[in-house]
Amino acid sequence: MEILEEIGEEVALRGFDGLTPVAPIRQAIASGHGIGKSTLVAWLIDWLMSTRPQCKGTVTANTVTQLETKTWPAVVQWTRMCATRDWFTLGARSIRAIEDPKNWFVVAQTCKEENSEAFAGQHAATSSSVYIFDEASAVPDKIWEVAEGGLTDGEPMFFAFGNPTRNSGKFYRITFGSDMARWKQRSIDSRTSARANKTQIAEWIEDYGIDSDFVKVRVLGLPPSASELQFIDQARVDAARKRVVETLPDEPLIAGFDASGGGAAWNVIRFRRGSDWRALPPIRIPGEKGRDRSVLIGIAAEVMRDRRPGHQVAAMFVDSAFGSPIVERLHTLGYDNVIEVSFGGTSPDFHQANQRAYMWNKAKEALLTAGIPDDEHLAIQLCSPGYHINNQNKLVIESKEDMAKRGDPSPDDADAYVLTFAQPVTPLLAQDPETFNEFDGDFGGSGLGGGGWMS
C-alpha cells in the first residue's frame, strides 16, 4: 500500500498533461523472499493498462523460468480478476487492449543480452512507456541501458524488484550504490511482511546465521558481502556456452546420472569428455516415467553396453539418494564401472563440507575452460545454488531442499554434470569392438535411438 501510494504521489507531482514530457518515475525494491513482488508487478500492469490508453510496457525477469512460471502467471492471475478484464486479450506473453492492440499493450520479454533490441524503440508520447524488471539483480546492464532509451517522452516509468543477489551491476547501483540519486528505493526485510513464511525464515537464520550472505539476501533484502550469492557466476557459464573446445583422443567419456524420486524432478544422464560437456546428447526421463526403476535400469544398461566409437563410457556416477537400486542391479549385470555417489558423503578435500560441495567446486573450476551446451535451462541451473562458508571454514553448497523452499526448480541437469567430477577417471585402454545392439525402447533426445518422452 505504501509503495502504491508513493507512486500515486509521484504521478500527481509530475502532472502529465498528455503532451509535455515529464521526468521518469523510477522505483526500486530490494527485498527478501515472500513479500509479494510478483503480485505487485501484476497490480502495476493492470493499473497502467486500465488508466493509460495507448501505454506500452515491457516486463522481464532474470531467467526464462522466472518469467514463464512465476512473474507472468501472476500477471495473468490478477488480470483475470481485474474489474477491467473485458477490455483486454490475455496471451502467453502479452496483454493487449481490444480497442487498439497494436499500440496499447504490455509484453513479456526475456532479458538475454542478445535480445536487447526488443527493449528499444518503446515510446508513448501521449501516454506511458513502462519497464518492469522482476528479480532484477541478474538482468544484464546492457538491457538496462537500452530500456533507458524508452524514457524520453510522455509519462515514462521504470520499476525494478528483486533479491539483491549481487553487490555489483545496475540493480545494486540503484538500490545501494552510485546510481541511487535517480531512483526511489527501499529495502524490505521479509520478517516484516505478514505473508512471508516465518517458520522457514527462522530455519534459514538458524542454519546459516543472521550475518550470512544467504540471510542477508533471502531475508533481510541486503546485498551479499561476497560478489554474488550464486556459487557459479553467470559470466563463467555464458563464456562456456560460446567456447569451442578440443579433447585428447583417449580422454575418458564420463556419465553422471541424477536419479529422481518422481514428481516434477527429472531423471537425467549427462556426458562429459574432458573439457567437452557436449560429448553426447543428454538422456532426460520425466520423474513419473522413472517411478518404475526397471525403466531406468534398462536405459542405464544400454548406455553402459554401447560400444560404438566415441560412445563407450569409462565410468558412470549415480546419485545414491534414489539411485542405489539402479547401481546394485547394474553391478549384478557386470557393470563394475558404475559408481554410487552420496552427495552428503565425506569430501576428498577438507576445504569442502561434503561430496556435494566438492563436486560443485570441481565443476566451477572446470567451467573456466569447458565448452557446454548452449542450453538456457542448464545455464540457469548451474547458476542457481547459493553457498556459504560454515563455522569450520568449509564450503557448503545450498541443498535442493532449500532451493525448493525459495521456489527454484531442482537442478537435475546441473547435478548430472556435477556428478562427472566425483572422482578422477582413467582413459579406457582400448575400445571394445563388440557391436552395439540398438535399444528397442522409446527415449528420444538420448542419442541412442527412439523419439518421444525424453526430450
In a domain, 424, yes or no: no
State residue 7 phi and psi, 5-degree precision: -65, -40
pLDDT classification of 189: cutoffs 50, 70, 90: very high
Q: Are residues 117 and 162 in the same domain?
A: yes
In a domain, 9, yes or no: yes
Q: Does residue 157 have a pLDDT over 70?
A: yes
pLDDT, tens digit, 9 for 90 and up, residues 243-297: 999 998 889 999 999 998 777 789 999 999 999 999 999 999 988 876 788 999 9
State residue 11 phi and psi, 5-degree precision: -60, -50
Average pLDDT over residues 353-366: 97
In a domain, 214, yes or no: no
In a domain, 227, yes or no: no
Q: Does residue 123 have a pLDDT over 60?
A: yes
Q: Are residues 118 and 244 in the same domain?
A: no
Measuring CA to CA, how many Å separate 157 from each of 6, 40, 66, 131? Answer: 13, 15, 22, 6
In a domain, 454, yes or no: no
Range in 74-83, 290-299, 352-361, 366-375 the model is least confident about? 290-299
Q: Are residues 293 and 400 in the same domain?
A: yes
Give me the number of domains the chain comprises: 2
In a domain, 445, yes or no: no
pLDDT classification of 441: cutoffs 50, 70, 90: very low
Q: Are residues 165 and 253 in the same domain?
A: no
Range in 114-118, 224-228, 273-277 the model is least confident about? 224-228
Q: What is the CATH number of the domain that holds 131?
A: 3.40.50.300
Q: What is the CATH number of the domain that holds 316?
A: 3.30.420.240
Nearest residue to 213 via CA among 67, 294, 205: 205
pTM for the model stands at: 0.71
Looking at 208, 242, 260, the residue that finishes a domain is: 208
pLDDT classification of 167: cutoffs 50, 70, 90: confident
Distance separating alpha carbons of residues 163 and 138, to the nearest angstrom: 9
List the Cα angle 176/111/46 in 5-degree steps. 80
**Residue 65 or 339, more confident:** 339
Measuring CA to CA, how many Å separate 60 from each of 148, 158, 295? Answer: 14, 12, 39
pLDDT classification of 202: cutoffs 50, 70, 90: very high
pLDDT, tens digit, 9 for 90 and up, residues 402-440: 888 776 778 999 999 999 999 999 887 654 444 333 334
Nearest residue to 299 via CA among 88, 452, 182, 171: 452
Q: Does residue 374 have a pLDDT over 50?
A: yes
Q: Are residues 372 and 310 in the same domain?
A: yes
CB 383 within 8 A of CB 239: no
Q: Are residues 241 and 156 in the same domain?
A: no
Domain that holds residue 63: 2-208
> How many C-beta atoms surround the C-beta of residue 99 within 10 A?
11
Distance separating alpha carbons of residues 199 and 301, to the nearest angstrom: 44
Q: Are residues 137 and 240 in the same domain?
A: no
Query: What's the chain's average pLDDT?
Result: 89
In a domain, 188, yes or no: yes
Distance separating alpha carbons of residues 418 and 309, to the nearest angstrom: 24
pLDDT, tens digit, 9 for 90 and up, residues 132-149: 999 999 899 999 999 999
Q: Are residues 195 and 240 in the same domain?
A: no
Query: What's the chain look like in SS3?
Result: CHHHHHHHHHHHHHCCCCCCCCCCEEEEEEECCCCCHHHHHHHHHHHHHHHCCCCEEEEEECCHHHHHHHHHHHHHHHHHHCCCHHHEEECCCEEEECCCCCCCEEEECCCCHHHHHHHCCCCCCCCCEEEEEECHHHCCHHHHHHHHCCCCCCCCEEEEEECCCECCCHHHHHHCCCCHHHCEEEEECHHHCCCCCHHHHHHHHHHHCCCCHHHHHHHHCCCCCCCECECCCHHHHHHHHHCCCCCCCCCCEEEEEECCCCCCCCEEEEEEECCECCCCCCEEECCCHHHCHHHHHHHHHHHHHCCCCCCCEEEEEEEHHHHHHHHHHHHHCCCCCEEEECCCCCCCCCCECCHHHHHHHHHHHHCCCCECCCCHHHHHHHHCCEEEECCCCCEEECCHHHHHHCCCCCCHHHHHHHHCCCCCCCCCCCCCCCCCCCCCCCCCCCCCCCCCCCC
Q: Are residues 161 and 51 in the same domain?
A: yes
Q: Are residues 121 and 74 in the same domain?
A: yes
Q: Are residues 158 and 258 in the same domain?
A: no
C-alpha cell at 139: 538482468
Which pLDDT belongs to residue 429? 65
Q: Are residues 75 and 204 in the same domain?
A: yes
Distance separating alpha carbons of residues 272 and 288, to the nearest angstrom: 26
Measuring CA to CA, how many Å separate 225 from each of 67, 212, 332, 338? Answer: 27, 9, 50, 41
In a domain, 224, yes or no: no
